[in-house]
Amino acid sequence: MNTGHKILNDEMFLSRSQTPFDSTIGKRGVRNGAKPNFGIRYTMFNIRNSGGTAALFLFPALAMLAVFFFLPVVASFVLSFTDFDIYSLGNIHFARFVGFENYVKLFDDPLFWKALGNTFYFVVVGGPLSLIVSLLAALAINSRLVRFKGFFRLVYFAPVVTTLVAVSVVWRFIYHPRFGMLNYALSVFGISPIDWLGNPHWAMPAVILLAVWKNFGYNMIIFIAGLQNIPDYLYEAARIDGASPFDQFKKITLPMLAPTTLFVGIITMIGYFQLFAEPYVMTQGGPLDSTLSIVLLMYQQGFRWWNMGYAAAIAFVLFAIIFLATVVQYAVQRKHSDL
């Protein structure tokens, strides 16, 4: 009996450790034909069991994404082909399928092209400006000459997490045509006061300045992480070869930061194409629609005039524009990095 128990224990040990053994030996050490490899069967059981466990843990998250993301996107896409309005909210039968009428009407709307031009202006000017300010701040904080780096990171990142309503109160006072700090500073140089938020020529630059100040801290943190991943020996070798700080920045820092710059550029562009909060709080799209953005137009059509189908069409046109711009930016950046 003791010998039999010992043989069984040895087989269990071999199966768990997946050690190959003579498959022609039976339970009591007698050759009685081929037996299956218990180690392989045990491993396959673990793989199936772990796959089922992973699916079980992923199911709640995937279900939430399906219910609160994918289904609304599909519903919005279907909505863009209807004339869904405030009457359809009470009775869905009032909604009619109109095909591409919303998209045709959208491209014939001068207000859409005005909003699209304002949005591109904001992205083309504000996007690079935000990247430049973020990179300069990251280089300054990452420098060995700067002390209290944690304090400066906190100060520069604070506007990112500050609510825009509180920020807008401060910046509306800064932009005040008579008592604003900005006009007071300009008066020192003999420049007459400017109505920053009331002049159609200056309203969008004022919004861009606010957006860059509020959002550059987020990109700065990403750039700092990228700078800290650059090996120090590259700079040491460059200094030994007599490279100037500008040459080190041009030949080492910029090429090594290329993936980080691509990521920051794409997320900044996507965020700036969705411009809404700044003009909504500061100017309501004025004056003379000079700060009206695509998303603000979509909001007005959907929740002020209740043209839900038309607003959904605006949303998917904006999605197509962002997608194409992202593909172009990625291709250009990749081609430049390959040179």
Report residue 49's pLDDT band, with 50, 70 and 90 as the boundaries: low
pLDDT digits (tens, 9 = 90+) for 98-127: 999 999 999 999 999 999 999 999 999 999
Q: With 60 as the cut, is the pLDDT of residue 29 above it?
A: no
Do residues 157 and 290 share a domain?
yes
Q: What percent of the chain has pLDDT over 70?
A: 84
Q: What percent of the chain has pLDDT over 90?
A: 65
Do residues 256 and 296 share a domain?
yes
Tell me the residue range of the domain where 53 lies.
Answer: 2-78
Report residue 329's pLDDT band, with 50, 70 and 90 as the boundaries: confident
Do residues 110 and 209 share a domain?
yes
Do residues 125 and 68 share a domain?
no
Do residues 65 and 109 share a domain?
no
The candidate with the shortest Cα–Cα distance to 196, out of 168, 177, 221, is 177
CATH classification at residue 141: 1.10.3720.10
Average pLDDT over the chain, rounded to an integer: 85
Q: With 60 as the cut, is the pLDDT of residue 11 above it?
A: no
**Residue 92 included in any domain:** no
Is the distance from CB of 274 to CB of 295 less than 8 angstroms? Answer: yes
Q: Can you give the chain as a three-state secondary structure string?
A: CHHHHHHHHHHHHHHHHCCCCCCCECCCCCECCCCCCHHHHHHHHHHHHHHHHHHHHHHHHHHHHHHHHHHHHHHHHHHCCECCCHHHHHCHHHCCECCCHHHHHHHCCHHHHHHHHHHHHHHHHHHHHHHHHHHHHHHHHHCCCCCCHHHHHHHHHHHHHCCHHHHHHHHHHHCCCCCCHHHHHHHCCCCCCCCCCCCHHHHHHHHHHHHHHHHHHHHHHHHHHHHHCCCHHHHHHHHHCCCCHHHHHHHHHHHHCHHHHHHHHHHHHHHHHCCCHHHHHHCCCCCCCCCCCHHHHHHHHHHHCCCHHHHHHHHHHHHHHHHHHHHHHHHHHHHHHHC
Report residue 219's pLDDT band, with 50, 70 and 90 as the boundaries: very high
As a whole number, mean pLDDT of residues 258-270 equals 93
Least confident of 28-32, 117-121, 188-192, 232-236: 28-32
Single out the residue in 63, 78, 93 at which a domain terminates. Answer: 78
Do residues 281 and 151 share a domain?
yes
Residue 31's DSSP bridge partners are 25
Do residues 121 and 206 share a domain?
yes
| Residue type (1 letter), 235 | Y
Torsion of CA 312, 316, 322, 328, to 10 degrees: -170
Is the distance from CB of 115 to CB of 98 less than 8 angstroms? Answer: no
Single out the residue in 78, 110, 126 at which a domain terminates. Answer: 78
As a whole number, mean pLDDT of residues 238-253 equals 92
Contacting residues for 130 by C-beta, under 8 A, at least 6 apart: 211, 212, 215, 216, 219, 268, 272
Report residue 337's pLDDT band, with 50, 70 and 90 as the boundaries: low
Report residue 52's pLDDT band, with 50, 70 and 90 as the boundaries: confident
pLDDT digits (tens, 9 = 90+) for 127-163: 999 999 999 999 999 988 888 889 999 999 999 999 9
pTM: 0.81
Number of domains, the chain = 2
Residue 20 has what pLDDT? 45
Q: With 80 as the cut, is the pLDDT of residue 249 above it?
A: yes
**Residue 249 included in any domain:** yes
**Residue 83 included in any domain:** no
pLDDT digits (tens, 9 = 90+) for 53-81: 888 888 888 899 888 889 999 999 999 99
Q: With 70 as the cut, is the pLDDT of residue 204 above it?
A: yes
Report residue 334's pLDDT band, with 50, 70 and 90 as the boundaries: confident
Do residues 173 and 320 share a domain?
yes
Residue 53 has what pLDDT? 83
The packing angle between helices 110-142 and 200-228, to 10°, is 40
**What is d(CA 309, CA 84) in angstroms, rounded to the nearest whole number?**
5
Do residues 205 and 314 share a domain?
yes
**Residue 90 included in any domain:** no
Residue 55 has what pLDDT? 82
Do residues 25 and 172 share a domain?
no
**Residue 32 included in any domain:** yes
Contacting residues for 246 by C-beta, under 8 A, at least 6 apart: none
